[in-house]
Amino acid sequence: MMEVEGPWKEVFEGSERKETSEEAEVLLGSSCSLAPLVDQSPSIRRSQPIVINVNRPKGVDSFSSSVPSIPNPFPELCSPSKSPVLVGSLPPPSSNKHLIKVYGEDSHSRSVWVSRGATTREVCHMLVQTAHCSDHQNWALLELHPTLGLERCLEDHELVLEVQATWSLKGDTRFSFCKNYAKYEFFRKPMLFFPESMISDSADVTKGMTSSDLIQNLLRSGTCPEIQGFLQVKEPSRKSWKKVYYFLRRSGLYCSTKGSSKEPRHLQYVADLDDLNVYTVVNSRKRYGAPADFTFCIKPSRNPLRVQDLKILCAENEQTRTCWTSAFRLFKYGKQLQSNYQLSESAPRHLEGTKLVDVKSKSEASLVAMDFSGKTGGRVIQNPMEAQSAEREEGQAWRRREALRCSLPNLNSGAKPSSIHKSQTWFHGRVSRKEAQRLIEKQGLVDGMFLIRESQQHAQCFVLSLCSKLKTKHYLVIPCEDDGRKYYTMDDGVTLFIDLLQLVDFHQINKGILPVCLKHPCVCVAL
């Protein structure tokens, strides 16, 4: 091998550039050098940014040009006054705000800016104001997984952005805003939610404890008896289901490997309460081949949702499923749920610690109650109780006038029933029986939850779907005619109603043939 001493240069064909030995770059540790590919001579000039001095007089628009300016036809929709960007599309000035999308029950969504520390209660309060909902109680934010058929109601104290951070980027998980009357119903009726047969009395301190004592003891001292019972569990990577005896304790969820034995050598640890969330499974028979529709599942709360992480369980009835899911919540959160319940019951007009203040709009605040019954003209009703009474009387008189007008005989087409029910929140049109049960279950299986729908099997008939003792029952409303007028009845003509509005008003006070009075209308929320 021959060594080359001294500087050298590489010459390309067609190149007119001449290199000198002083311009060569010397490699360290070697006697060879290469000429740079780009000449560093000062004769080469590269493009540089040019500074343009602005010498415009004051008062002249910086965007003025030879093109005439076009006036903004909708200045009230833009901010600032000359900006073409809508206010709703601009992020808030604070960088701590994040955008979330919430869906209503009509598949439409609304985007809301929330802070990193915003709780579910605060977001629900914001949506109530945005959607102009009629009341401020029993609203809930649901976490939905449509592909897997899972949903759960977020607790009022949970941070919304932390929940969203656990979602998979490729999934279809979303938030849904709806009513949920059963969120704290176990505080009001613990005997319905915790049957005595499912409360273990193995420990001496909890022997003979009732359902009410269970909740009170849990909230007072943090100790509680275990919940026990058989559940069907879906075996991993298989379609078969197996009946297993489970125990829910403060330390976690356990199952027995030998019947219902509680011996430590027969107990197998399943999950930790602090690291799991409980979901209700929708349409579990079709999706997972469940033996019944009363299915729920548990999964780790911090990990993204994966099918292999799901523990799918099936109960024999709705009361058993409700007992298990309510016990999971109570054992996990304890006194925090009681605090949430007390805040929900007090229903404050504003949320402490936030700027979400419930303030009436100017147009609503400018309305006053008037009395025109006197001879001297109208007067402003100052007493709030008198104003509410006048509002009720006016509403009842309007309904009577509407019912009388619709019930008058018509010589051309005959008497037609009133259609005033179509504007009511409890009327859901032509939904199916299964969908009606789904709506009531979603908004809470509490006594008195109801809706009215058109019957799909009987023409010109309606169906009253009512929840009682965690079950949905359906009552056929039949139109009948008496003395040329049309009425509605549910008891073969014993009690007649001129329209569905009167039927609902009557059964909100009297049970009649129903097991409970109508109390909570099943409302479809549109955002």
pLDDT, one tens digit per residue, over 175-219 is 999 888 888 888 888 877 888 788 875 444 445 567 677 777 766
Beta bridge partners of 99: 113
3-state DSSP percent of the chain in helix, strand and coil, to 5:
25, 25, 50
Residues 193 and 299 in one domain: yes
Helices (H), 107-180: 120-130, 160-165
Residues 333 and 428 in one domain: no
Domain endpoint, select from 179, 213, 247: 179
Which two tokens mark 23? 């311009």
Q: Name the residue with tokens 């006594």.
A: 447
Nearest alpha carbon to residue 335 among 224, 219, 223:
219
**Contact (Cβ atoms closer than 8 angstroms) between residue 397 and residue 389:** no
Residues 445 and 489 in one domain: yes
Task: Please give the DSSP secondary-structure letter assigned to residue 447.
Answer: T
Q: What is the pLDDT of residue 346?
A: 80
Residues 207 and 159 in one domain: no
Beta bridge partners of 497: 488
Return the minimum-mean-pLDDT range out of 27-31, 78-82, 124-128, 440-444: 27-31
Task: Please give the DSSP secondary-structure letter assigned to residue 333.
Answer: H
CATH number at residue 333: 2.30.29.30
**Contact (Cβ atoms closer than 8 angstroms) between residue 415 and residue 409:** yes
pLDDT, one tens digit per residue, over 25-62 is 433 444 444 444 444 545 555 555 555 554 555 544 44
pLDDT of 395 above 50: yes
pLDDT band at residue 70 using 50, 70 and 90 as cut-offs: low
Return the minimum-mean-pLDDT range out of 27-31, 91-95, 123-127: 27-31
Question: What is the average pLDDT value for the chain, to the nearest integer?
Answer: 75
Backbone Cα Rg of the chain: 35
Sequence letter at residue 366? S
Distance CA 480, CA 462 (A): 12
Which two tokens mark 278? 């409980």
Return the minimum-mean-pLDDT range out of 172-176, 213-217, 507-511: 213-217
Q: How many domains does the chain have?
A: 4
**Contact (Cβ atoms closer than 8 angstroms) between residue 313 and residue 307:** no
Residues 217 and 329 in one domain: yes
Distance CA 473, CA 88 (A): 44
Residues 300 and 201 in one domain: yes
Domain-embedded: residue 369: no
Domain endpoint, select from 179, 203, 225: 179
pLDDT band at residue 11 using 50, 70 and 90 as cut-offs: very low
Distance CA 87, CA 104 (A): 23
Distance CA 284, CA 299 (A): 16
Nearest alpha carbon to residue 111 among 95, 126, 96:
126
CATH number at residue 119: 3.10.20.90
Domain-embedded: residue 370: no
| β-bridge pairing 295-300 and 276-281 | antiparallel
Q: What is the pLDDT of residue 219?
A: 67
Residues 325 and 243 in one domain: yes
SS3 27: coil
Domain-embedded: residue 172: yes
Beta bridge partners of 233: 242, 313
Q: 5 — phi, psi (to 5°)?
A: -100, 150
Of 356 and 468, more confident: 468
Q: What is the pLDDT of residue 344?
A: 85
Q: How far is the CA of 8 from the CAs of 27, 35, 36, in angstroms?
A: 12, 8, 12
pLDDT, one tens digit per residue, over 313-331 is 999 999 899 999 998 998 8
b/e map 251-262, b = 16+ CB within 10 Å: ebbbebeeeeee
Return the minimum-mean-pLDDT range out of 80-94, 179-193, 463-477: 80-94
Q: What is the pLDDT of residue 354?
A: 38
Of 402 and 184, more confident: 184
Domain-embedded: residue 43: no
Q: How far is the CA of 97 from the CAs of 90, 166, 389, in angstroms?
A: 12, 18, 44
Task: Look at the alpha carbons of 168, 169, 170, 172 in this order and tell me if their dihedral is positive or negative.
Answer: positive
Residues 142 and 232 in one domain: no
Residues 168 and 241 in one domain: no
Domain-embedded: residue 128: yes
Cα angle 343, 349, 350; round to 5: 80
Residues 207 and 314 in one domain: yes
- For 418, other C-beta atoms within 10 Å of its C-beta total 20
SS3 438: helix
Residues 194 and 334 in one domain: yes
- For 196, other C-beta atoms within 10 Å of its C-beta total 12
**Contact (Cβ atoms closer than 8 angstroms) between residue 78 and residue 87:** yes
pLDDT of 243 above 90: yes
Q: What is the pLDDT of residue 79?
A: 44
Of 284 and 19, more confident: 284
- For residues 41, 46, 49, 52, the Cα torsion angle rounded to the nearest 10 degrees is 90
Domain endpoint, select from 294, 316, 346: 346
- For 280, other C-beta atoms within 10 Å of its C-beta total 20
Residues 245 and 147 in one domain: no
Q: Name the residue with tokens 């014993």.
A: 494
Domain-embedded: residue 258: yes
Domain-embedded: residue 25: yes
b/e map 318-329, b = 16+ CB within 10 Å: bbbbbbbbbbbb
pLDDT of 87 above 50: no
- Domain extent at residue 23: 1-37
Domain-embedded: residue 140: yes
Q: What is the pLDDT of residue 17?
A: 45
Q: What is the pLDDT of residue 254?
A: 93
- For 231, other C-beta atoms within 10 Å of its C-beta total 22
CATH number at residue 482: 3.30.505.10
